[in-house]
Amino acid sequence: MESKVSRRQFLRLAGGAAGAVALAACAAPVAPSGSGEEAMSQEKIVIRYAGLDGMGARVEAFMLPWVEDNGYELERGAFGQQELTDKIMQSVATDTYLADIFQFPSNARADVIGAGALQEIPTEVLEAIDFDDVLPGIVNTLSWEGKIYALPYDGDIHYYSFRKDLFANEDINSRFKDAYGYDLSPDTGAVTWDQWRNICEFFTGWDWNENGDDDDFGAACMTKRGDTLWWGFNSRATAYAKHPDDDSYFIDLDTGEARLNNPGFVRALTEWVEEMQNWAPPGGTNFTYGDSLNAMNGGRVAQTYNWDAVTSATSPETSVIQGLQGYNILPGSHEVFNSKSGEWDYFDIPSHAPFHAFGGWVIAVSAQVDELAYDAVWGFVTHLTKPESGLAFVTDLTGASPYRFSQMDAVEEFATGPLQLGEEVAMDYLNAARETLDHPNAVTDQAFGGWVQYRDALELGVSKALANELPPQDALDEVAAAFNEISERMGGLQHQAELYARTLGK
Amino acid sequence: MATEPRIFSTKRSRFEIRDNLWKWIFLLPAVAIILILLAIPVLWTLYAAFTDLHLYRIGDFETQFVGLANFEKLLSNRSFWRTVRNTVVFMLGVVPAQLIIGLTVALALNNITRGQKLFRTWFLMPLMVSPVVVSFIVGRMLFQEDIGPINDILRNMGFEGVPWLTSPTWAMVALMAIDVWQWSSFMILMLLAALKGVPPDLHEAARVDGANQLQGFWRITVPLIMPITMTALLIRIIDAFKVVEIIMVLTGGGPGQATESVTLAIYRTGVKGGDLAFGSSQAYFLLLVLMIFGGAYLVMTRRAMGKD
């Protein structure tokens, strides 16, 4: 006999089955059965780590033996750079769990630490990793109101890099001297931004790389909005706009008023627009940081400034200038704008104001750390950030830069280790890092609350000037107005000035 | 006076009531999901648009009701209006181009007798690729000004390289080219389906009556494919208003603000910047514009097709 199920009967059956499944799902879990070993393995402590995809993979490879030796498990969340920052910021803002340990950009510290999202680093951990060995410029990026909330991993700063071989070439140097009246220095490269401009102009438009193509230019910088323009522009501006006698840079520490449209910033932008439009490769006003690195490593520009200047330049797959590059602190200036007096001050010895661009990725433990994994998590971060581990990271092809005094002395490891820099380049690189991170007039990156909005406002204005949509002064007037408006929305100018002081360790 | 016999009883039987109850029980999960996933976020966004809610404000701040302040700021915000202008320019550039290309290709495909399936699949391939991938491969690599293949070919032919990503005009052209390349396929698909629905008998009858091919196209084909064409256009217009991925990957909204769309501005303000209040007011502006436009478009379309 043929049996038929009507549509209504079918729906009732499906509804009943769904209800039964839902009830089963809601029922109390059944206690684990089987051997004690199985039960143990089910309770294995899991350490959850969220970080950048590339860097996180290296952390995982490095930490896995330690994790396995201790009988733990590691779950790694891998994200792109912007995605990771967004995830962290959103988990902080909505007070939701992301991971036990996360890697985060240090200039989000006001947003992250200020929201109470991190555990304070215990004294035992600080002692175990020899925290006193960390350079002051990096300590500042790990701290909030005098307490340490994060551990160092990467001393991200901008290095000035230049073609040592070209600057040492006698023929090139004599032509340069004829044109500008002084010698190119293969030891230091450009010491001031005026020299940088001369070098930009001189190396544009003739075949110094001898490949027969019209592809030789003075410099390449990160200029693309939404990429790394913020750091590209600020590294160019600090020497003019950060006075040694004044702690303020982005906003006035007393009033909270934006300083972005003062003559120091305007001069920097005016010159930068000219350089990127005339002396950079085609498309130079819209370069990502990768584009600018590629132009340098591809042997098409004579100088640049960037973060990971070493790793990519050493690889034969990505560079034609292995061993030919010199490093130094960012150029300085004889004239610095004094916001207090409203005048330009002249310095016989160029004033430098190296920009701690980005300030580096740091490692932190979430306030919502899984209680079961508490000890394992602190063991993990201690092992990851202790001096021996740190040295292994910064001397390998990880993209991480040095951040400890002891690392600055490890010339041998940088010269002959995986980076294979050779002694001269290693010395240049480490001296530049030490001088930048330990400089009394260094500029700490913007880290007071709402940094993403400030960053977007500045990038919009500067990119308008780079695209000739607005003259530099008008573009920066817009930026300053936007800064003040953002400050008002973030709690008021005074409130933001107080946060700014805290990010400077005041 | 005679009364008409009652054919249908207005009194609902117990069976009907029980039947309706079951309907409601089975509808309830769907209604609940829609409420959770749609209505609550929409209402919450509306609430946010009237406050000073900010995700990343540090300190003890209470969220305040600010009335229409966010909308007033929106109206006076030059940057926002620039994004509106960019979005309209983008939409006006891509949608007509996609319609023309889509119709041309669909007509050609409809008339060929051999290899139709192969070509149909071929033309649909761009639609299957993620916009982010398209932007990166087609956009970032082909339009790279310095060493990209398009400029390389131009230079080898003796022309100047085109500033694809650093000139406001060319950057918009590059974005339009990518969008047209990808979404013309959608138009081809829709219009080919519409053309397949035109009965061949009508054309044969028209030919018998002395109509030429052009007259047949205008008098028979166009009116018959019009409903699907108008629907496809509406979908593409709304999509063009919401464009964001290709801009993020290719230009980041630059140079300057020349290619920043409304949706990208909303994302930057609300999601990345954490200013949910102002971001929500921008989102509601876009929603309102699209609703008014969509409603007016549908009314006008129905009138034009004589259905009102």
- Whose CA is closest to A233, among A355, A141, A337, A329? A355
Percentage of chain A exceeding pLDDT 70: 92
Length of chain B: 308
Interface test mutation site (partner A, options B28, B58, B74, max chain A beta carbons within 10 A) = B58
Closest CA to B133 of B187, B182, B170: B182
CB-nearest partner of B145 from A90, A283, A499: A283
pLDDT at B262 over 90: yes
In chain B, the domains with their CATH numbers are 69-304 (1.10.3720.10)
In the three-class reduction of DSSP (H, G, I as helix; E, B as strand; rest coil), residue A183 is classed as: coil
Q: Which of 3.40.140.10, 3.40.190.10, 3.40.50.2300, 3.30.56.10 is the CATH number of A45-152+360-394? A: 3.40.190.10
User: Any chain B CB within 8 A of the CB of A211?
Assistant: no
Average pLDDT, stretch B215-233? 92
- Mutation target among B151, B166, B257 for the A interface, most CBs of A within 10 A: B166
Tell me the average pLDDT across A244-272: 97
How would you classify residue A181: left for phi > 0, otherwise alpha for psi between -120 and 50, otherwise beta? Answer: left
- Interface contact A464, partner B, CB < 8 A: yes
User: Chain A residues with CB inside 8 Å of B70's CB?
Assistant: none
Judged against a pLDDT cut of 60, whether residue A29 lies above it is answered with: no
What pLDDT, in 10s, does the model give residues A183-204? 999 999 999 999 999 999 999 9
pLDDT tens digits for range A270-319: 999 999 999 999 999 999 988 999 999 999 999 999 987 788 888 888 88
CB neighbour list of residue B274: distance below 8 Å, 6 or more residues apart: A89, A93, A450, A452, A453, B54, B55, B56, B57
What is the model's pLDDT at position A176?
97
Q: Would you state the pLDDT for residue B11? A: 61
pLDDT at B9: 54
As a whole-number percent, the residues of chain B with pLDDT over 70 amount to: 94
CB A450 to CB B59 under 8 A?
A: no
Average pLDDT over residues B23-50: 90
Q: CA A70 to CA A251: how far, in whole Å?
A: 48
Instruction: Please state, in angstroms and rounded to a whole number, the distance separating the CA atoms of residues B155 and B162.
Output: 9
pLDDT of residue B54: 87
Nearest Cα to B61, choosing from A221, A499, A179? A499
Is the four-CA dihedral A308, A461, B132, B145 of positive or negative sign? negative
- Which residues neighbour A445 within 8 Å (Cβ) at sequence distance 6 or greater? A106, A107, A231, A234, A355, A356, A357, A358, A359
* Average pLDDT score over chain A: 88
In this predicted structure, what is the pLDDT of residue A96? 85
Q: What distance in Å separates residue B122's CA from the closest CA in chain A? A: 33
The residue in chain A having the minimum alpha-carbon distance to the alpha carbon of residue B64 is A489
Q: Same CATH topology for A45-152+360-394 and A159-357+442-503?
A: yes
Beta-ladder partners of B188: none
Q: Is pLDDT above 60 for A42?
A: no
Per residue in B275-305, pLDDT (tens digit) is 999 999 999 999 999 999 999 998 988 887 7
Instruction: Using the predicted structure, report yes or no on whether residue A36 has a pLDDT greater than 70.
Output: no
User: Does residue B213 surpass a pLDDT of 50?
Assistant: yes
pLDDT band at A50 (very low <50, low <70, confident <90, very high): very high
pLDDT score for B169: 94
Residue B296, pLDDT score = 93
| pLDDT at A7 (0 to 100) | 36
Residue B74: CB atoms within 10 A of its CB come to: 17
Range name among A51-55, A123-127, B221-225 with the lowest pLDDT average? A51-55
Chain A residues closer than 8 Å to B274 by CB: 89, 93, 450, 452-453
What does the pLDDT look like over A429-439, one tens digit per residue? Answer: 999 999 999 99
Q: What is the pLDDT of residue B10?
A: 57
pLDDT, residue B20, reads: 80
Q: pLDDT-based confidence at A5, cuts 50/70/90? A: very low
Whether B58 and A225 lie within 8 Å, measured CB to CB: no
pLDDT greater at residue B198 or residue A85: B198
Which of A273-287, A304-318, A368-382, A442-456 is predicted least confidently? Answer: A304-318
> What is the percentage of chain B residues whose pLDDT exceeds 90?
52
Q: Is the pLDDT of residue A6 over 50?
A: no
Report residue A214's pLDDT band, with 50, 70 and 90 as the boundaries: confident
Question: What pLDDT does A3 receive?
Answer: 41
| Domain A159-357+442-503: CATH superfamily, name plus number | Periplasmic binding protein-like II (3.40.190.10)
pLDDT digits over B95-127, tens only? 999 999 999 999 999 988 888 888 888 888 888
Residue A28: is its pLDDT beyond 60? no
Position A16 pLDDT exceeds 50: no
- Please write the tens of the pLDDT for every residue from B137-194: 778 888 888 888 999 999 889 888 899 988 999 999 999 999 999 999 999 999 999 9
**DSSP assigned state of A252:** -
The answer to whether A460 contacts B256, with C-beta atoms less than 8 Å apart, is yes
pTM metric for this prediction: 0.84
Residues in B touching A89 (Cβ below 8 Å):
55-56, 274
Give the pLDDT confidence of B246-258 residue by residue, as tens digits: 998 888 898 889 9
Give the pLDDT confidence score for residue A32 in this predicted structure: 39
Cβ distance B256 to A449 less than 8 Å, yes or no, reads no
For residues B44 and B270, the answer to whether their CB atoms sit within 8 Å is: no
- Name the residue in chain A with its Cα closest to that of B160: A282
- Spatial strand order of the sheet with A217-220 comes to A217-220, A301-306, A159-163, A325-328
Domain boundaries, chain A: 45-152+360-394, 159-357+442-503
Query: For A47-51, A116-120, A197-201, A473-477, which range has the lowest pLDDT when averaged over its residues?
Result: A116-120
